[in-house]
Amino acid sequence: MISHLKLKTIRTLNEHISIEIDQNGFEFIILKHKKFDAAFSLYGAHLVHFQAKNAAPLIYLSKTAIYDSKKAIRGGVPICWPWFGNTEKSKQNGLASHGFARTSEWTLSTINITDLGIDIEFLLEASQQTKAIWPHDFNLTLKASLTDHIELTLVTENTGDTPFNYSGALHTYLHIADHRQCTVTGLAANYTDSLQNNQAKKSQQVLNIDRPIDSIYEKSDGAIVVNDDAYKRTIAVSNEGNDSVVVWNPWIEGAKAFADMPDDGYQTMLCIESAITADPGYSLKPGDSHALKTIIK
Ligand SMILES: O=P(O)(O)OC[C@H]1O[C@@H](O)[C@H](O)[C@@H](O)[C@@H]1O
């Protein structure tokens, strides 16, 4: 799935971990395990690839994604944080949509390899740069637990002495075989349609991927199931610590407008995002932490 990047190995740490670069020197951490192959970028602590053995890739990565450390990578699991989308404040202050975590350099803090899989953690700490954008002290940790499926936990810790609110999302781009043979079940009964002035709507029991979709669903009780018929598989997404689930497909007009997605890219992806979107966000007192999680199987 990332063979199109024509990566070159520059360091092999052991049989499971290597560092590879693309033609422009952009680095990827490549993980190989008997249960899966995966790849991360330190830029954004971004999971760009995951494929369980003998299965199709679970995560979509745009073939024309741009790796220039200036904008978020199109595909994978971007980390939207400490705000979701464009808030009034971010618009007023000319700040980037979806916050700065996905366009920051993170550090790799731990890797633990077992027979069952790989646990890997990345850290982003407050700095002068982040404080110029968002004036708070924090530690942000992405804990990824990879086995034959994916568990991602984003832990926000308030390390300062004043409370703050945050919002965001684990903006998972799922890979599907063909949108025409794909439906979604298990979404909550109510949603707001971001494409129609945030109108409140009642959901159908089965969501077809047959038009542009940008919807914020209420939190679901159980798993959200993507029925990917052409691959003869279902993908179950369970979320924790979220207040909502964002479902997004840019459709052909959207894909055409993106420099970093092929025109037909929308046909093989669907975003199901574990999100915090309600105003004013999740409130964290000094010393407290909160976990936003998604499990994709
Ligand atoms: O192009 P971006 O900034 O990665 O955002 C992609 C999409 O992300 C989704 O989460 C939003 O609901 C959409 O409105 C947005 O278009």
The predicted-structure confidence for 226-245, as pLDDT tens digits, reads as follows 999 999 999 999 999 999 99
pLDDT at 1: 65
168, 292 in Cβ contact below 8 A? yes
Q: Is 46 in the pocket of ligand 1 (CB under 6 A)?
A: no
88 is catalytic: no
Q: Is residue 138 part of a domain?
A: yes
For 217, other C-beta atoms within 10 Å of its C-beta total 25
C-alpha of residue 202 to centroid of ligand 1, in Å: 22
pLDDT at 69: 94
Q: Are strands 27-33 and 150-158 parallel, antiparallel or unpaired?
A: unpaired
pTM over 0.95: yes
Q: Is residue 258 part of a domain?
A: yes
For 287, other C-beta atoms within 10 Å of its C-beta total 10
Please choose from 70, 103, 171 the residue to mutate so as to test ligand 1's pocket, defined by most ligand atoms within 8 A of CB.
171
Q: Is 266 in the pocket of ligand 1 (CB under 6 A)?
A: no
149 is catalytic: no
Catalytic option among 33, 49, 149, 171: 171
Q: What is the pLDDT of residues 44-96, one digit of tens each?
A: 999 999 999 999 999 999 999 999 999 999 999 999 999 999 988 888 888 99
94, 71 in Cβ contact below 8 A? no
pLDDT at 86: 92
Sorted by sequence, the CB contacts under 8 Å of residue 97 that are 6+ apart come out as 85, 86, 90
C-alpha of residue 148 to centroid of ligand 1, in Å: 28
Average pLDDT, the chain: 97
**From CA 206, how far away is CA 200, in angstroms rounded?**
18
Lowest mean pLDDT among 87-96, 130-139, 286-295: 87-96
- Provide mean pLDDT across the span 207-232: 97
DSSP assignments along 182-195, one per residue: EEEE---SEEEETT
pLDDT at 89: 84
Q: How many domains does the chain have?
A: 1
Q: List 124's β-bridge partners, or say none.
A: 140
Q: Is residue 27 part of a domain?
A: no
Q: Is residue 145 part of a domain?
A: yes
Nearest C-alpha to atom 14 of ligand 1 is from which residue? 214
**From CA 39, how far away is CA 72, in angstroms rounded?**
16
pLDDT at 210: 98
pLDDT band at residue 38, thresholds of 50, 70 and 90? Answer: very high
- List the CATH number of the domain containing 223: 2.70.98.10
What are the CA-CA distances from residue 56 to residues 52, 175, 176, 230, 260 (Å)? 7, 8, 9, 11, 22
> Which of 36, 40, 269, 33 lies closest to 144 in space, CA to CA?
40
Q: Is 73 in the pocket of ligand 1 (CB under 6 A)?
A: no
**From CA 92, how far away is CA 88, in angstroms rounded?**
6
pLDDT at 87: 87
Atom of ligand 1 nearest to the CA of 102: 4
Please measure the distance between the N-terminal and C-terminal CA atoms of the chain and give it in whole angstroms. 18
Which contiguous run of DSSP H or E holds residue 13?
Answer: none
Give residue 183's identity as a one-letter amino acid code: T
Q: Is residue 29 part of a domain?
A: no
Please determine, for residue 29, whether its predicted confidence score (pLDDT) is greater than 70: yes
DSSP type of residue 96:
P
**From CA 24, how far away is CA 141, in angstroms rounded?**
28
Q: Which two tokens stand for residue 225?
A: 């199931």
Q: Is residue 35 part of a domain?
A: no
Q: Which two tokens stand for residue 140?
A: 């942000």
Residue 231 domain boundaries = 80-296
Q: What is the pLDDT of residues 252-278, one digit of tens each?
A: 999 999 999 999 999 999 999 999 999
Q: Is residue 216 part of a domain?
A: yes
pLDDT at 88: 85
C-alpha of residue 112 to centroid of ligand 1, in Å: 32
Which contiguous run of DSSP H or E holds residue 131?
Answer: helix 128-133
pLDDT band at residue 288, thresholds of 50, 70 and 90? Answer: very high
138, 274 in Cβ contact below 8 A? no
Nearest C-alpha to atom 1 of ligand 1 is from which residue? 74
Q: Is 248 in the pocket of ligand 1 (CB under 6 A)?
A: yes
Sorted by sequence, the CB contacts under 8 Å of residue 28 that are 6+ apart come out as 2, 5, 7, 19, 20, 21, 22, 39, 40, 41, 48
Q: Kindly provide the ipTM of the predicted complex, given to two decimals.
A: 0.99
Q: Is 192 in the pocket of ligand 1 (CB under 6 A)?
A: no
pLDDT at 101: 98
What are the CA-CA distances from residue 104 to residues 30, 85, 234 (Å)? 19, 17, 33
Q: Is residue 43 part of a domain?
A: no
